[in-house]
Amino acid sequence: MVVSRRRVVQVLGGVTMASLTGAGKAQFWFAPSLTYPAIKVGNVNNLKNNEPVYFNYPDARSQGILVKLGRPAIGGVGRERDIVAFSAACTHMGCGVQYKGGRFLCPCHYSMFDPAKAAAVYQGLASTGLPQIQLGIAQNGDIFARAVNGLIWGRARNI
Amino acid sequence: MSNIGRRDALPIPPTNAEVKNTVCQYCTVGCGYKVYTWPVGSQGGLAANQNAFGVDLRNPQNPLGGLVYTETMHSIVTRKDGRQYHVVIVPANDSPINFKRDHSSRGATNAVATWSDARATKERLKYPLLRMGDQFQVITWDEALAILAGVAKGIRDKDGNDDNIVVKAFDHGGSGAGFENNWGVGSLFFKGFSVKHIGIHNRPAYNSEVWGSRERGVHELNYDAIDARLADTIVLWGANPYETASVFYTEHMQPNIQGATLEEKQRNLSRGEPVEAGYMIVVDPRRTSSLTIAENIAKDRTLHLRPNLGTDYILANAIARVMWERKYYDQRFLETRTDMAKFEEYKEKSLKVGTPYAQFMAEVERITGVRRADIEKAADWIAKPKAGGFARRTLTIYEKGIIWNMKNYDQVAAIVQMAVLGNNVGRAGTGCGRLGGHQEGYVRPPSPTPGSIYNGGPPVNVDKYLTDGKGKLYWVIGTNPYLSTPNNQLFRKRIRERTKALSDFLGQSGEPGTTQEWVAKILEGLDATNGLFMVVQDLYLIHTAQDAHLVLPASAWGEANQTSINCNSRLLRLYEKFMDPPGQAKQDWEICKLMGLKMAELYRAEGKEEEAKRFEFGKNWRTDEDVFLDGGNSYPNNAIPASEEATLPAECYKGVTYAFLRQVGQQGIRTPVRVENGKPVGTLRRYSVKFGTKDGKFSWYGTDDWEGYPEEVAKYLEGEKAQKYPFWMTTGRAQAIWQTMYNDRFLPEKMNTLPMPYIEIHPQDAQRLGLRGGDLAQVWNEEGNGTFLVYVTDSVRPGMIFALQYHHLGTSNSMTPGYTDPKTTIPWYKGTRVAIRKVRGALPDLQNSTSFLQQNKFD
Ligand code: SF4
Ligand code: FES
């Protein structure tokens, strides 16, 4: 599967990018539009297929899930382009989603998200996919979270 | 990363933002929403006292209750003053329907579906369009209505009646309609014109979809949402609320199955009555998500009955027969509340008490394919009295699986009779009615056909009337028959032929330049070609409009004040205007009023004062509320005691004003409304005292025997055709999209989720045909063809596929036969036979971006 990035993101070193689209009278800011920190969330050598790792990003009050899917994914990093991370807050009403059977499932009203498809909602009441956390990998295998592509539930702005 | 532009910060409404109350424009549930608008250029702050939400946004919101403000809930619109405004549309926190600000993926896109010249919704129609040969040209309302009125009057003058004036129009609430527009449309066609060839938006005739219930004395909207929380058992029959009435499921049914409403049961039900977590019975050919979620919660309290297509009424009668055998009924109730003379007919024909039980059940098993043990279990769960002799409380909800089944009348009648036999209508936690699809808002002068074949019907099949070459003017309002009629492929071909015949005629020696010449040439062409003059009144240039001669731009939800009721509580609320319509688009009621006045002008010019007056029905309508009140006055006297509520039309709102609705806000008022001491009073639940018949007694009916399938489908079950078309096809809707996707096709979130119409196929069949998720399949029969994306799932059983009924890229209705129930003229959209093959090649971009995981698997 060929997945092209919408935007080339600067690599490593924790530098983040803000992009601003649209000008004139009315402006729409597309994510990531804010300045995000780079935070280490794991190391490729410690990841096992389908065993999710939880972390906080971009701050202590927002949980993310990092998972190696074992199959290529939109926005996936690593040699197999299969390592992805998302906000764990369901975009419906904020419950924590679970990684189960190769997909994310929300226990509250059963929204389901496909991790290989940018966590698009394929069933349920949620209106957008889980915000995808952009990842980068350092030479030593450390995985960094660098930005959030989508609005974390319960916030008017991610940061 | 995704192919959809995402956002990570949303504008915050400042404290001085305008706040309006509204209700979701989409499904039957009618979730409450709040709308915040303010001019672009300012924003509120994060502190609670700095924003119009009054919410502290410095801290994340609490799950399940905190403010819901997601990426699709904001947009920017331009008003008539030329300035741009932020529009934020979020679930209300004070609604009795969507507790805790619940909402679905459909309602969440109310904001991004608004018209804007900067987004894909710029496709909205702004001005009337007139076909000039191969293209449309913009014209003014004055010109458009002069041509339309000229043609309509010319046809009437020649015929001396309105038989050749054919209409297809919405009759619902929500999405741009409501009581105001219904009264406008009804007044034009039933007061001004006397149109009898009129069909309702989703079917070929002007009929109730549930005469089988109404003619028993039970209007289909009789329960309240609370009954789903109080019921001992919920029966979902041909209804999949998790996907089509999502919040009704998640806030009212799911908690009951989870046992989260026990306290509410204790508070509301009889003293000493045993209560426990709810049971759910799902009757459906598919393992729907409504079923599999319930199974996930409590497998032992969930039952799935999977009758062969078309056999549901036999199954309902069989459950009732078990109830009869096991004495799960209240003799006193039957004697005092129901017509015992007619009960004998029911016993004989539906329950077949003359046939020994074992023989009867064996026959039922053979016809329906459902095991006797399951039928008996269903009867126990529906009507077996509880400990202490308390009557069980069962809420039975049906929808298109029953309505758009074969033999519509008998299907609906069988289910409501099963419910009434168990005294399961009119008590807390009971009811038997529709789930609903869209919201309602019906108020019209009397329609041409009063009822089924047993009550002055059946109504004319207007689709057939047109495809047979009859009718001259075809006026389509707020519906897209090129997707929505049965036998769709044939319908499209015939309408295209007939409209094109007229277009070609109009082009001979050049299209006319003056209005008078247009009218004259159209009238001449209609006679010379047997063509059709088609008018489409809609939000967009929909599929049907591509063949129209005249296109009229209508305004949408939010662009005017309107009123509607939801289906699960009959809750009437005011949907406040928060933006202007694009260009010169107008509310349907205003278009109808102006058309009427134009007709009146033409008649007056000829000195025909009587005719002129008939068409001036709207001359005093200046505001939305004028129309609302005018419609309300058409209801009968409602200053009557509560015990007489059954005599009122279900939607009666006489005595209610906009001021009253503003005051009650999201709490609304439940129709039918009565007036007590000069004040409007609502009705929580219907038929507690009397049923809606002349004598107030439930009117039983003996259903037909099983007679096999109608010719249109039976032809596929024999000989060569049985081999050629080996699959049953049933059809329905999907969670993510609304109706024909008239808005959704412009939203990337929706198009990414459902880029094409799809079928569900069982893994065994898929393997045999070499199909995998994400492949394309061609599905066809003698009626028509369609190309569908493939989902492989155990939702369907081997030998049967499910096809999405409406998608803007195609419809399963192309394969649906022209059969309608002879008693009601309601089609059978949900059953026919088809052939399937894999389409060679694939669409890799689509396979990469869209998910093909199984949608009914929650464990
Ligand atoms: S459940 Fe229905 S009414 Fe509620 S938000 Fe969804 S579409 Fe709108
Ligand atoms: S909070 Fe996740 S589906 Fe509702």
Rounded to 5 degrees, what angle do the CA atoms B735, B737, B741 make?
A: 160
Q: In which residue are the tokens 């499910």 written? A: B802
Q: Residue A25 above 70 pLDDT?
A: no
- In chain B, residues with a C-beta closer than 8 Å to the C-beta of A61 are 59-60
Residues near B234 by Cβ (< 8 Å), separated by ≥ 6?
B228, B253, B256, B257, B278, B279, B280, B281, B394, B395, B397
- In chain B, residues with a C-beta closer than 8 Å to the C-beta of A134 are 1
- In chain A, residues with a C-beta closer than 8 Å to the C-beta of B851 are 114, 116-117, 120, 122
> Which residue on chain A is closest to B855 by alpha carbon?
A123
What's the mean per-residue pLDDT of chain B? 97
SS3 B748: helix
Tell me how far apart the alpha carbons of residues B789 and B392 are, in angstroms, rounded to a whole number: 44
Q: Is B108 on the interface with A (CB under 8 A)?
A: yes
Of A5, A90, A157, the CB nearest to B8: A157
Q: Are A96 and A90 in contact (CB under 8 A)?
A: yes
Query: Which ligand 1 atom lies nearest to the CA of residue B246?
Result: 1
Q: Is A60 on the interface with B (CB under 8 A)?
A: no
Cβ distance of B72 and A34 shorter than 8 Å: no
Residue A26 CB coordination number (10 Å): 17
Q: How confident is the model at residue A28 (pLDDT cuts 50, 70, 90)?
A: low
Of A62, A75, A150, the CB nearest to B71: A150
Q: Residue A4 above 50 pLDDT?
A: no
Nearest by Cα to B5 from A30, A22, A27: A30
SS3 B257: helix
Tell me how far apart the alpha carbons of residues B226 and B570 are, in angstroms, rounded to a whole number: 12
H/E stretch holding B337 reads helix B331-337
**Cα B2 to ligand 1 centre (Å):** 26
Token pair listed for B333: 């109730």
H/E stretch holding B804 reads strand B800-804
Distance of CA B604 to the CA centre of its chain: 40
SS3 B279: strand
Closest C-alpha residue for ligand 1 atom 2: B27
* Average of per-residue pLDDT across B141-154: 98
Query: Which ligand 2 atom lies nearest to the CA of residue A111?
Result: 3
Residues near B278 by Cβ (< 8 Å), separated by ≥ 6?
B231, B232, B233, B234, B253, B256, B257, B259, B261, B301
What is the count of residue pairs from A and B with beta carbons less than 8 Å apart?
Answer: 189
Query: Which ligand 1 atom lies nearest to the CA of residue B30?
Result: 3
Query: Which ligand 2 atom lies nearest to the CA of residue A94?
Result: 1
Token pair listed for B747: 């939203």
Residues near B389 by Cβ (< 8 Å), separated by ≥ 6?
none
Q: Is B853 on the interface with A (CB under 8 A)?
A: yes
Cβ distance of A93 and B1 shorter than 8 Å: no
Q: How confident is the model at residue A30 (pLDDT cuts 50, 70, 90)?
A: confident
Alpha carbon dihedral B192, B194, B195, B200, in 10-degree steps, equals: 70
Tell whether ligand 1 has an atom less than 6 A from the beta carbon of residue B29. Answer: yes
Tell me how far apart the alpha carbons of residues B306 and B290 are, in angstroms, rounded to a whole number: 14
SS3 B420: helix
> Which residue on chain A is closest to B104 by alpha carbon?
A125
Query: Which ligand 2 atom lies nearest to the CA of residue B64?
Result: 1
DSSP string, chain A: -----SSPPPPSTT---------SSS--PPSS-S----EEEEEGGG--BT--EEEE-SSTT-EEEEEE-SS--TT-BTTTT-EEEEE-B-TTT-PBPEEETTEEE-TTT--EEEGGGTTEEEESS-SSPPPEEEEEE-TTSEEEEEEEESPPTT-SB--
**Cα B741 to ligand 2 centre (Å):** 24
Token pair listed for A81: 């382009």
Give the gap in angstroms from C-alpha A23 to the nearest C-alpha of chain B: 12
Q: Is B242 on the interface with A (CB under 8 A)?
A: yes
Q: Are B854 and B286 in contact (CB under 8 A)?
A: no
Which of A29, A69, A93 is best to mutate for the B interface (most B CBs within 10 A)? A93
Q: Residue A105 above 70 pLDDT?
A: yes
- Residue-wise pLDDT tens digits, B285-331: 999 999 999 999 999 999 999 999 999 999 999 999 999 999 999 99
Q: Is A14 on the interface with B (CB under 8 A)?
A: no
A13: phi then psi, degrees, rounded to nearest 5: 75, 0
Q: Residue A2 above 50 pLDDT?
A: no
- Residue-wise pLDDT tens digits, B17-34: 999 999 999 999 999 999
Scan residues 436-455 of B and list those with Cβ closer than 8 Å to A: none
Q: Residue A141 above 60 pLDDT?
A: yes
Q: Give the per-residue pLDDT at B2.
A: 55
Q: Are B657 and B641 in contact (CB under 8 A)?
A: no
> Which residue on chain A is closest to B84 by alpha carbon?
A26
Q: Is B3 on the interface with A (CB under 8 A)?
A: yes
Tell whether ligand 1 has an atom less than 6 A from the beta carbon of residue B781. Answer: no
Tell whether ligand 2 has an atom less than 6 A from the beta carbon of residue A62. Answer: no
Token pair listed for B543: 């599929």
Q: Give the per-residue pLDDT at B716.
A: 98
**Cα B104 to ligand 2 centre (Å):** 10
- In chain B, residues with a C-beta closer than 8 Å to the C-beta of A28 are 5, 7, 76
- In chain A, residues with a C-beta closer than 8 Å to the C-beta of B69 are 156
Tell me how far apart the alpha carbons of residues B221 and B566 are, in angstroms, rounded to a whole number: 9
User: Helices (H), strands (E): how many in chain B?
Assistant: 29, 29
**Cα B706 to ligand 2 centre (Å):** 44
- Residue-wise pLDDT tens digits, A74-85: 999 999 999 999
Nearest by Cα to B91 from B72, B119, B78, B77: B72
Residue B454 CB coordination number (10 Å): 14
Scan residues 65-94 of A and list those with Cβ closer than 8 Å to B: 74-75, 89-94
B462: phi then psi, degrees, rounded to nearest 5: -75, -35
Q: Residue B446 above 60 pLDDT?
A: yes
Q: Greatest CA separation found in chain B?
A: 86
Scan residues 276-295 of B and list those with Cβ closer than 8 Å to A: 289, 293
Tell me how far apart the alpha carbons of residues A95 and A111 are, in angstroms, rounded to a whole number: 10
Q: Residue A5 above 70 pLDDT?
A: no
DSSP string, B80-145: TTS-EEEEEEEE-SS-SSSGGG---TTGGGTTTTS--TTSGGGGS--S-EEEETTEEEE--HHHHH
Q: Are B179 and B564 in contact (CB under 8 A)?
A: yes
Token pair listed for B22: 């509204």
Q: May I ask the CATH class of domain A25-149?
A: mainly beta
Tell whether ligand 1 has an atom less than 6 A from the beta carbon of residue B321. Answer: no
Q: Are B266 and B390 in contact (CB under 8 A)?
A: no
All domains of chain B in start order, with CATH: 18-112 (3.30.200.200), 129-209+442-614 (3.40.50.740), 222-433 (3.40.228.10), 640-696 (no CATH), 711-849 (2.40.40.20)
SS3 B376: helix
Q: Are B13 and B52 in contact (CB under 8 A)?
A: yes
Q: Give the per-residue pLDDT at B3.
A: 63
Q: Is B358 on the interface with A (CB under 8 A)?
A: no
SS3 B856: coil
Tell whether ligand 1 has an atom less than 6 A from the beta carbon of residue B31. Answer: yes
Q: Give the per-residue pLDDT at B175.
A: 85
- Residue-wise pLDDT tens digits, B590-616: 999 999 999 999 999 999 999 999 999
- In chain A, residues with a C-beta closer than 8 Å to the C-beta of B60 are 61-62, 94, 152, 154-155
Give the gap in angstroms from C-alpha B275 to the nearest C-alpha of chain A: 24
Token pair listed for B756: 């094409």
Token pair listed for B294: 């319930």
- Residue-wise pLDDT tens digits, B378-428: 999 999 999 999 999 999 999 999 999 999 999 999 999 999 999 999 999
- In chain B, residues with a C-beta closer than 8 Å to the C-beta of A153 are 61, 63, 70
Tell whether ligand 2 has an atom less than 6 A from the beta carbon of residue A93. Answer: yes
Alpha carbon dihedral B507, B508, B510, B516, in 10-degree steps, equals: -80
Tell me how far apart the alpha carbons of residues B490 and B470 are, in angstroms, rounded to a whole number: 15
Residues near B135 by Cβ (< 8 Å), separated by ≥ 6?
none
Amino acid identity of B93? N
Token pair listed for B737: 């999209």
Model-level pTM greater than 0.90?
yes
Judged on CB neighbours under 10 Å (0-12, 13-18, 19+), B341 is exposed
Query: Which ligand 2 atom lies nearest to the CA of residue A107?
Result: 2
Give the gap in angstroms from C-alpha B836 to the nearest C-alpha of chain A: 25
The structural domains of chain A, with segments of one domain joined by +, span 25-149
Q: Is A109 on the interface with B (CB under 8 A)?
A: yes
CA dist B463 to B203, B206, B212, B481, B488, Å?
9, 11, 22, 9, 10
- Residue-wise pLDDT tens digits, B771-794: 999 999 999 999 999 999 999 999
Tell whether ligand 2 has an atom less than 6 A from the beta carbon of residue A120. Answer: no
Q: Give the per-residue pLDDT at B177.
A: 81
The interaxial angle of helices B624-632 and B178-186, nearest 10 deg, is 70
Of B2, B46, B100, the CB nearest to A118: B2
